Structure 1
């Protein structure tokens, strides 16, 4: 080391030993083997200090630690340390030459020689290397930050490799509706009584749009209704007569008329129905009374014939008994006459009586046969009367039913004509244009009254797809329809299905070519905060057709792979 006259006793190199042990524990550079200092390396030789700034800075730090931790606890003058720092950082290197630096270094080391006894230049160089290693050692915060960044990018790459997003084909188009415009007209025509809608109104299916007076159709319909009720109630009466029971007519005519005719009936028609029922009840009572009277007469005649047959039969039995007695008397007289014990004249009288009685019996038999035939005929007349009565009822029932069937057809046609006096909307839609507005004006049969653009359960969207995007399109693919009139980020869009792809490209007005695709949506409106937002034909839409899924990494690598394929291929 430097020569500075008398020097204090050498201090034990405890700090250096501790520094070596600490360096080994922290895996810092180990001390190089001691070598004999070359002349240019010793400070005493007056050689300039040519160590790098880091080693010198480490040396300065090491010197400070030695001065603080040495056993003598002697601290050199701070001005000397400051001069040494200036020497290290090179602030004075530009002002003085190497010689002056050597002299200053010698002076400084002479002042610091006491705590550095026993140290060689190689020890001092090693101490500088240790301190430099300490200064270059990365901090724990930097290590944690580096590890966090590495883990983050690793997770990000894994997520990008497995997370999939939709791959869509973008197209633009417009809403065309699901049906063509409906033209509303009236088959019979008449006088326009009221127009209940205006252009642009939204109407529901079945809503009354206009009212047309057609008195002829209404009158014909009322007449058919009256005749129908007459036939219906007559059939009720006839069926009761056929079953020999009392007819049961409807009690609530209003409910019955609504169920039978399918519509409400005016009070005047209900009064007519009540009158028809009263008439039918009267007819039923009179016909039942007449039938009973006729049947009673026939039954009386039959009973009379039965009594005559009974009387004649009784008289015949009496004659038979008298004839038998007369024959016995005649036979007894005949035996006496043969012995001349009885008068022959009396015998002949007895014979004549037998013949007369036999004649009466024969005549009575013929009378009884006629009486029995008359009685049988009387019974047959009763049966015939009942059969004829039932046959008449059956014939009238058939006639009434045929007429009622005809009237039902008339009512169906007449009901349509009467119903058509209330012009109703066939679909849910928007009134596009009204052609007749004059109240009291004549509406000709079949003349257009207004046009309605349907708002059906689904919407039909026509979109244009570029030819380079059509390769992966297939009918049935899911589509998200975004209506430009409503902000998609707020109101959302309509889900739909790809329904049809045109067979060939179509040339646009500006010469561009595109494929026309048709998309069917699931709804006809958007909903936001419980508010229905209608979508009408003509609105511009953006249709995103879902053709598949890709990972985020595939999307990120696509331009790189594309550039790789096209790179170094130019002419």
Structure 2
């Protein structure tokens, strides 16, 4: 090898050693940008319409309250408990409610006994017919004493009434005996008058024969006239006595009628009071039954408003909040008018709960269930939006407890839109800009 050949070989080696890294670098850049270009033009990237929203529950949670309030005696459930319809959740102290019901029941029994007594007086019975509702309670000393008191009072009142009637009836019998006496007197007078008539007839014959005097005849006639007067007075006396009998009979009827009318008047008042007390008993029994607070629905206890035995519950205070069984968790989101063209019913979405720990809380899935047909405007901010309702999938499958979620909780929704390539994201704005740039107004 000549010196020239050696120099050429050495120069060639040096050139190759310099070009080789450059070539490798160029090839690497070609492969990188080529691969990136292929990926950018072919690989799909899912888009999303982002909207803020709040968590709601279909049908809303059921809040259990108590109308009267009271003192907590037992707490039978805890947060997270699943309960059935009508299941007891709390027990309030029933001392006051039971005492009030007993007082009203005792008052009702008294009125019922009084009603039975007044019915007996109105119907002029000789004994009281108490209702079975009272006679069946003979094991109760208070009821036995009540019935005995009413019987005693009824017997005394009946005895006084009979005495009054008896006195009047005795007067009638006296009047009737008086009439009998007067009639006997009349019969005697009529007998005397009959004898005098015969005597006058005989004296008239003797006068013709001159065997008697005119004075004797006139004296006999005067005596007969006097008897006629006595008879007339007796007839008038009988009429007067009969009038007295009629008046006494009216007094008897009035006494009986007055007793019945007074009983009827009192009976109306007692029945009105009895109806009122029955309504009060119904209300008191309802209050007593509601000392056991029961669940109005089947579901899951979300929140307890009381936690301590002996705690005083105010009227209308929230005691328990229950998520209805089968109730769906929904999200109401406000979609911007700029994104409404890419949001429709049936689209899937990803949900992030803003109030929960983002590092430990997984995202949830949802489906668009409703999109408002027209634009709405927030009254406070005057910002336009479309109301969108999304239905959550089973959140417990992704490790989110339903007890961690509350109505009104803030969420972020990412509604999945159509897939586009990275190149399309880069080129479309430029293309749209050119399309607008070369158009005249």
- TM normalised by structure 2 equals 0.58
Farther-moved stretch of structure 1 (271-280 vs 381-390): 271-280
Q: Provide the residue aligned with 1:187 in structure 2.
A: 68
Q: Provide the residue aligned with 2:305 in structure 1.
A: 435
Q: Provide the residue aligned with 2:149 in structure 1.
A: 279
2:388 to 491, 506, 516: 516
Equivalent runs, 1:110-121 vs 2, <5 Å: none
- SS of 2:300's partner is strand
Check whether the contact 1:302–1:375 (CA below 8 A) recurs between aligned residues.
yes
Q: Does 1:398 align with 2:268?
A: yes
Q: Provide the residue aligned with 1:177 in structure 2.
A: 58
Distance 1:454 1:278, change over 3 A: farther
| C-alpha distance in structure 2 between counterparts of 1:338 and 1:295, whole Å | 64
Q: Provide the residue aligned with 2:105 in structure 1.
A: 225
2:87 to 207, 213, 228: 207
Q: Provide the residue aligned with 2:361 in structure 1.
A: none
Check whether the contact 2:302–2:323 (CA below 8 A) recurs between aligned residues.
no
Q: Provide the residue aligned with 1:380 in structure 2.
A: 250
| C-alpha distance in structure 2 between counterparts of 1:457 and 1:391, whole Å | 65
Check whether the contact 1:502–1:516 (CA below 8 A) recurs between aligned residues.
no
Distance 1:339 1:427, change over 3 A: farther
1:316 to 186, 206, 221: 186
Distance 1:500 1:234, change over 3 A: farther
1:448 to 281, 303, 317: 317
Q: Provide the residue aligned with 2:280 in structure 1.
A: 410
1:214 deviates by: 6.0
1:504 to 375, 378, 381: 375
Check whether the contact 2:68–2:314 (CA below 8 A) recurs between aligned residues.
yes
| C-alpha distance in structure 1 between counterparts of 2:225 and 2:151, whole Å | 65
1:459 deviates by: 5.6
- SS of 2:275's partner is helix
Distance 1:291 1:454, change over 3 A: farther
1:358 to 228, 236, 240: 228
Q: Provide the residue aligned with 2:116 in structure 1.
A: 236
Check whether the contact 1:199–1:433 (CA below 8 A) recurs between aligned residues.
yes
1:353 deviates by: 1.5
Distance 1:362 1:174, change over 3 A: same
- TM normalised by structure 1 equals 0.46
Q: Tell which has more relative contact order, 1 or 2 (C-alpha 8 A, sep 6+).
A: 2
Check whether the contact 2:109–2:134 (CA below 8 A) recurs between aligned residues.
no
| C-alpha distance in structure 2 between counterparts of 1:469 and 1:229, whole Å | 75
| C-alpha distance in structure 2 between counterparts of 1:518 and 1:321, whole Å | 125
Q: Does 1:304 align with 2:184?
A: no
Structure 1: gaps (5+ residues): 1-172, 258-266, 474-478, 485-497, 520-524, 526-534, 540-570
1:363 deviates by: 2.3
Equivalent runs, 1:228-267 vs 2, <5 Å: 228-245=108-125, 246-251=127-132
Distance 1:512 1:334, change over 3 A: closer
Largest Rg, 1 or 2? 1
- SS of 1:414's partner is helix
| C-alpha distance in structure 2 between counterparts of 1:316 and 1:500, whole Å | 117
Q: Provide the residue aligned with 1:423 in structure 2.
A: 293
- SS of 1:446's partner is coil
Check whether the contact 1:175–1:460 (CA below 8 A) recurs between aligned residues.
yes
Distance 1:251 1:412, change over 3 A: closer
Q: Does 1:342 align with 2:223?
A: no
Check whether the contact 2:299–2:324 (CA below 8 A) recurs between aligned residues.
yes
Equivalent runs, 1:47-66 vs 2, <5 Å: none
Distance 1:463 1:343, change over 3 A: same
Check whether the contact 1:178–1:460 (CA below 8 A) recurs between aligned residues.
no
| Residue correspondences, number | 323
- SS of 2:322's partner is strand
Distance 1:311 1:518, change over 3 A: farther
| C-alpha distance in structure 2 between counterparts of 1:248 and 1:457, whole Å | 57
Check whether the contact 1:224–1:410 (CA below 8 A) recurs between aligned residues.
yes
Q: Provide the residue aligned with 1:58 in structure 2.
A: none
1:305 deviates by: 1.9
1:390 deviates by: 1.0
| C-alpha distance in structure 1 between counterparts of 2:166 and 2:60, whole Å | 74
1:252 deviates by: 6.2
1:379 deviates by: 1.9
Distance 1:211 1:460, change over 3 A: same
- SS of 1:249's partner is coil
1:309 deviates by: 1.7
| C-alpha distance in structure 2 between counterparts of 1:180 and 1:343, whole Å | 132
Check whether the contact 1:178–1:454 (CA below 8 A) recurs between aligned residues.
no
Equivalent runs, 1:117-128 vs 2, <5 Å: none
Distance 1:333 1:438, change over 3 A: same
